[in-house]
């Protein structure tokens, strides 16, 4: 712990000395003329000033440029450099920051302190009821190493219209993208994307809110940790209010008090909010709230195909509850598009933006990438969920003038074509990972395959004659193979006719000898072993000057003639056959020695490829005819 404290002191002194010359060059901090944050250096200067003991109470700031923090935090060279959060418990930020819808990219904090975790383990922290006396013991570990976010600690502050992109925070206690801890503070029209990790009190926007207000915020970050985590706020308590928020990030906890919007809500209210992200935990897990204590939760909706949990979590022996009377309920994905939720979430005050084939977006954020990407759905069948999908499903494309492109890192097994995704070759409960992104804002979807597709078995048998005494066209076929999309036939005869991607093949057998016909089943995963059939032919080949010529004209529009030559007078059998082996026409024709003609009226035939065959004294000749009208 001593090393950590020394490190922080050194780092603070270094940063302060580096930015000592930076000050507020524009504005006077009043509401009419706020201080202007023009650069990363200005934001660092704000952190140093607040953490030194200047809370900027009732002081106003505006962000006038988009900022990229990658030059001051992250993996830089061989070093890991963390962002220093603005405000501590001892010296909180008490001012007002208007982001003016600018973005701050690449906020990075990786501070999973082992010493902190080891000392914390000496306290018996219950996953189901994180008691305040335990919280006080946690604070005794190190006040200023508990709060991880852009802002560490807010008190009586206001943050408005600020968007964080590609955030990465890995902490222990109190993790939130905008603020780790907010006391009597307001967060509005803010959004966040990236990844958040921690053990206790983790929220996509705020880690813990006490007597504060959170409204019209969007989170798209995936959140992972131990206990008390929510897509918007980890812990909402002491008369806090949360409303008109949208979460589409996945919230996964290994213990309890995990919610799509808030992990715990205690003596507070949560209303008019939507969760479309997956929520998973062993106990006290809900699609809206993990653990509700003396609180009000109403007019909230969740997508029950992306989050299988009920709205309000219960202990591990119960499945959770929905409350239809308070309109806290789950809907199918396709029931949440356009303005179909307007009645359910009682949006008479028009707090949401509605667009066809998208989830609702908090009004005022509809033109921002994070909120837009959050509103892109995955269209599943009514009886499917992200934890039980079949071999194809639709992917949302968003607004016509700003369509998204879905991607996957497993392109060998997932094929994305326009608005559809097709999957194959997955073992049982294998997971498909999909993502869509715009301007560094990424949304991830994890779908679990329930009916896997594997390499098909080889066909059971090839059916058809295996001993031939007369020349002619012979059909061989197989039964359907489960999971096969098509079949590949082969034959050792050089004059053979085949039907690819079909269950049968037609062979023109006209010579004596031994033939081998084979077939294998194929799908996107691969191909089966080949099955073979041996055919023995005893055809008499002592007939000469028997020929069959190509139809004239070819292709055929209305009528054509088919020339053939006989060595002497006799009868021939004529057949017109479809590519599927159907005998469309057959007749016996008396012909003379030399050249003969057969007339075909094709006006009743559809455009297609056909075969015609002439059989004379056991010898059969076949040609292909094309009809194009």
Fold of 547-627: Immunoglobulin-like (2.60.40)
pTM of the model: 0.71
* Residue found by looking up tokens 């190493």 in the block: 145
Question: Coil, strand or helix: which one is 13?
Answer: helix
Residues whose CB falls within 8 Å of the CB of residue 350, separated by 6 or more in sequence, listed in order: 363
Do 107 and 83 form a contact (C-beta atoms < 8 A)? Answer: yes
Looking at residue 608, its pLDDT comes to 92
Looking at residue 138, its pLDDT comes to 41
Tell me which residue of 310, 377, 375, 301 sits closest to 344, measured CA to CA.
301
Looking at residue 154, its pLDDT comes to 97
What CATH number should be reported for the domain whose range is 467-537?
A: 2.60.40.10
Torsion of CA 444, 445, 449, 453, to 10 degrees: -60
Alpha carbons 127 and 112: distance in angstroms, whole number? 19
The strands making up 151-155's β-sheet, listed across from edge to edge, are 151-155, 179-183, 206-210, 233-237, 262-266, 289-293
SS3 string, 425-441, reads CCCCCCEEEEEEEECCE
Looking at residue 186, its pLDDT comes to 97
Q: Do domains 467-537 and 547-627 have the same CATH topology?
A: yes
* Residue found by looking up tokens 């599943």 in the block: 380
Residues whose CB falls within 8 Å of the CB of residue 444, separated by 6 or more in sequence, listed in order: 222, 250, 433, 434, 435
Q: Which residue ranges make up each domain of the chain?
A: 66-356, 378-448, 467-537, 547-627
Tokens of 553: 């004209």
Torsion of CA 340, 341, 344, 346, to 10 degrees: -110
Looking at residue 296, its pLDDT comes to 93
Condensed to tens digits (0 to 9), the pLDDT of residues 540-572 reads 656 567 899 999 999 999 999 999 999 888 899
Looking at residue 188, its pLDDT comes to 97
Do 271 and 243 form a contact (C-beta atoms < 8 A)? Answer: yes
Q: Report residues of the chain scoring pLDDT below 70.
A: 1-22, 112-145, 317, 346-349, 426-429, 452, 494-501, 540-544
Alpha carbons 113 and 143: distance in angstroms, whole number? 13
What per-residue string of b and e applies to 43-82 under the rule 16 or more CB within 10 Å gives b? bbbbbbbbbeeebbeebbbbbbeebbbeebbbeeeeeebb
Tell me which residue of 404, 389, 451, 402 sits closest to 426, measured CA to CA.
451
């Amino acid at each position: 712990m001593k090393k950590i404290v020394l490190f922080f002191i050194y780092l603070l002194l270094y940063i302060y000395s580096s930015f000592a010359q930076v000050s507020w060059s524009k504005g006077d901090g009043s509401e009419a003329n706020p201080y202007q944050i023009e650069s990363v250096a200005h934001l660092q200067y704000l952190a140093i000033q607040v953490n030194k003991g200047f809370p900027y109470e009732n002081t106003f700031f505006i962000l006038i440029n988009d900022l990229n923090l990658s030059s001051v935090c992250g993996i830089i060279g061989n070093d890991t450099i963390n962002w220093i959060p603005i405000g501590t418990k001892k010296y909180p930020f008490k001012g007002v920051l208007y982001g003016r819808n600018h973005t701050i990219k690449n906020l990075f904090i990786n501070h999973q302190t082992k010493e902190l975790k080891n000392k914390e383990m000496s306290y018996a922290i219950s996953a189901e009821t994180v008691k305040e006396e335990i919280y006080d013991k946690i604070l005794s570990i190190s006040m200023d190493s508990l709060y991880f976010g852009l802002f560490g600690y807010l008190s009586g502050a206001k943050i408005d219209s600020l968007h964080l992109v590609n955030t990465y925070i890995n902490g222990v206690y109190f993790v939130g993208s905008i603020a780790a801890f907010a006391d009597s503070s307001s967060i509005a029209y803010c959004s966040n994307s990236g990844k958040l990790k921690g053990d206790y009190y983790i929220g996509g926007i705020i880690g813990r809110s006490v007597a504060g207000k959170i409204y019209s915020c969007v989170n798209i970050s995936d959140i992972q940790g131990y206990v008390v985590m929510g897509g918007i706020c980890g812990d909402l308590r002491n008369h806090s209010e949360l409303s008109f928020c949208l979460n589409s990030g996945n919230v996964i906890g290994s213990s309890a008090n995990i919610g799509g919007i808030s992990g715990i809500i205690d003596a507070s209210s949560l209303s008019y909010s939507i969760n479309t992200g997956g929520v998973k935990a062993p106990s006290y897990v809900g699609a809206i709230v993990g653990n509700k204590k003396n609180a009000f939760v109403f007019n909230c909706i969740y997508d029950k195909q992306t989050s299988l949990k009920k709205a309000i979590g219960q202990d591990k022996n119960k499945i959770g509850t929905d409350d239809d009377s308070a309109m806290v309920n789950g809907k199918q994905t396709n029931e949440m598009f356009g303005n179909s939720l307007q009645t359910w979430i009682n949006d008479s005050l028009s707090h949401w933006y509605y667009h066809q084939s998208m989830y609702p977006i908090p009004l005022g954020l509809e033109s921002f990438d994070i909120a837009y990407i959050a509103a892109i759905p995955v269209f599943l069948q009514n009886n499917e969920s992200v934890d039980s999908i079949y071999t194809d499903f639709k992917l949302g494309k968003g607004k016509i003038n700003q369509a998204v492109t879905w991607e996957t890192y497993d392109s060998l097994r997932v094929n994305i074509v326009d608005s559809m995704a097709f999957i194959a070759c997955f073992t049982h409960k294998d997971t498909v990972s999909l993502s869509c992104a715009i301007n560094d804002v990424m949304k991830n979807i994890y779908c679990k395959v329930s009916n896997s597709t594997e390499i098909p078995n080889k066909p059971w048998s090839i059916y058809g004659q295996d001993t031939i005494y007369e020349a002619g066209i012979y059909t061989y076929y197989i039964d359907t193979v489960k999971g096969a999309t098509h079949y590949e036939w082969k034959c050792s005869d050089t004059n053979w006719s085949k039907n690819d991607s079909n269950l049968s093949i037609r062979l023109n057998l006209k010579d004596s000898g031994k033939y081998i016909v084979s077939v294998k089943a194929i799908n996107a995963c691969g191909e089966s072993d080949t099955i073979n059939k041996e055919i023995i032919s005893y055809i008499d080949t002592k007939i000469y000057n028997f020929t069959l010529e190509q139809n004239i004209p070819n292709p055929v529009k209305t009528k054509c003639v088919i020339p053939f030559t006989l060595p002497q007078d006799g009868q021939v059998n004529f057949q017109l056959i479809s590519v599927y082996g159907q005998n469309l026409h057959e007749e016996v024709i008396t012909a003379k020695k030399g050249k003969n003609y057969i007339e075909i009226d094709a006006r009743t035939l559809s455009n297609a490829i056909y075969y015609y065959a002439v059989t004379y004294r056991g010898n059969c000749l076949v040609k292909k005819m094309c009809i194009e009208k």
